[in-house]
């Protein structure tokens, strides 16, 4: 009986050492997300390479417009699996609440094409067929255009502060997936 009692402190110290080691690794690596900004639901400055890394870690594409001169890329990814890429103009702070920036949202929406077809059938909505069998939907004078592609569960929104500009961007083929 004496021997069993002597082993408990050693086992307890061993478990404590493992727990402390895991906590230290997590603190030093920031849970493994340090190199991929925007995953915590907070806006963060990003780069094309970091957006590609984020898309790979999420297991699905993130849509964007490619690099745009004179802008800073900002990314936010939330718990609903929505990802926002904003193109901030020179001097605009990360996380600016102003709706003055071109942005692209990638949203998890089961059967995204079917949902857009339903919206397109409503009065006042206009649909455009995209290359690759995609579908874009907007309303007259809208600042947003929504699009989806066959077989994808992701809907994309292109927003601009100027009515009609989002439609021009979508028609130009600038909307691209990363990842």
In this structure, is the dihedral angle defined by the CA atoms of residues 88, 91, 92 and 95, taken in order, positive or negative? positive
Q: Which residues on neighbouring strands pair with residue 146, listed in sequence order?
A: 137, 157
Residue 135 pLDDT > 90: yes
What local confidence, expressed as pLDDT, does residue 3 receive?
52
What local confidence, expressed as pLDDT, does residue 140 receive?
79
Angstrom distances, CA of residue 111 to CA of 118, 137, 151, 174: 11, 15, 7, 23
**pLDDT above 70 as % of the chain:** 80
What local confidence, expressed as pLDDT, does residue 39 receive?
76
* pLDDT tens, residue by residue, 77-89: 999 999 999 999 9
Residues contacting residue 25 through CB under 8 Å, at least 6 positions apart: none
CB 126 within 8 A of CB 108: no
Global pTM value:
0.78
CB 151 within 8 A of CB 132: no
Residue 24 pLDDT > 80: no
* pLDDT tens, residue by residue, 75-134: 999 999 999 999 999 889 999 999 999 999 999 988 899 999 999 999 999 999 999 999
């Amino acid at each position: 009986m004496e021997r069993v009692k002597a082993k408990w402190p050693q086992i307890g110290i061993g478990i404590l050492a493992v727990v402390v080691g895991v906590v230290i690794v997590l603190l030093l690596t920031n849970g493994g997300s340090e190199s991929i900004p925007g995953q915590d639901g907070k806006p963060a400055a990003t780069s094309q390479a970091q957006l590609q890394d984020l898309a790979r870690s999420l297991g699905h594409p993130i849509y964007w417009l490619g690099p745009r001169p004179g802008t800073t890329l900002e990314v936010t990814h939330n718990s609903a699996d929505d990802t926002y890429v904003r193109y901030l103009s020179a001097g605009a702070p990360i996380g600016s609440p102003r709706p003055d920036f071109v942005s692209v949202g990638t949203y998890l929406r089961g059967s995204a094409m079917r949902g857009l077809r339903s919206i397109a059938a409503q009065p006042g909505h206009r649909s455009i067929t995209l290359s690759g069998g995609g579908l874009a939907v907007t309303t007259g004078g809208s600042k947003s255009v929504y699009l989806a592609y066959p077989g994808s569960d992701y809907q994309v929104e292109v927003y601009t502060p100027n009515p009609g500009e989002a439609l021009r961007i979508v028609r130009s083929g600038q909307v691209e997936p990363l990842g």
